[in-house]
Structure 1
């Protein structure tokens, strides 16, 4: 088909080797002089004249990455290659905990950003300060999974503290994907028995309040060889 003495087509390129262009037989021609030649409805021709031939691709997939070849037949033959690069941003990262954290021990946390392209950058933060960890990445075809593992000592004061895993990526355009993790540090209970009054007279009633702090919290406190229910004030 000719249009004002010129003819063109868009084609998907499979590979370019030593200057030779090899088109994909299954997806060879996108448009031929304004007529769609593929069943993929995501391709749309938005401009077609002697000076401009413009197509758009909606809902881009990673499989669409590669070269696209435009050929113009007029008095002379011309062609250009457009290379499409597809970025895959991370979702909210996942957090994995190796073992239960215990007072006086260490906790190991791993943050994972799955399926990113290029590889995302993953960091840990606590109170807006970065926690230095060990980063690694695994290639899965065209995408990467990135991990960052931190290990640090914990005390009972660290229980319920918040640490944040953060993933950054060029496709996020300055935004960040974050996942918060609340530290669960187990520690032995501390028990205080508080009398209702300091001085008692014969015949007075004695009231005792048992105050317990611990993680996990107790609902009964051992007294001697028996378990007795107690009025608890959890601090």
Structure 2
């Protein structure tokens, strides 16, 4: 089971749109068993997949350790794609976790996902724009980090802060965590966007993916219709871009796993 966290400290950069579309494409077009974890109290991924509810256990119960994985996982309308939903109770749960000094705070999501290790090929975690305990739990359990980013000076600063946090998590909580790359989203064919993308690519620490996601109003439309972009508008540029990005993602993960296996054998 490969766990990928999608995060950025800035809002409005396409974290949730990327999480819901990558999850769908992995399940529908690549035949993977996928679990999407909504780790954001806003619950936008849960709303998109029509699993937003206060009547069932949710991510808040995971953080408070009051429900098992089987109790919080819900099926979506799409075969092969399940979700751990979230709602506003996650904010209160996060505060409760911060006050609990007995049970480790940073690994509660890891404990939950261990229960379903053999049930899924991929886990995709959609995160809030913060570095609070929910996001730390995501980093502590993930194999890979992907950072969506729009071309903006403020976003660049957010990437630096998140990478610093990821390095700390890697050092003290999760040595297997790897930064897979930065995905440029909402990309327009303007001089400022092109210059910003070139600047990002010139800094090797940011590991910009070869493929980027073009801006189109079809993406916003797809969130209202609750359809992955490849279903809502199959021919639009963003549909082709997300398909290409998932292909690149799978290749990078496969290459990384191969290198890790060889390094392990050499030791």
> Larger radius of gyration, structure 1 or 2?
1
Q: Same fold (TM over 0.5)?
A: no
Write 1 or 2 for the structure with the bigger share of helix. Answer: 2
TM-score by length of structure 1 reads 0.23
The TM-score, its normalising length taken from structure 2, stands at: 0.21
Give the number of the structure whose residues are more often strand, by fraction. 1
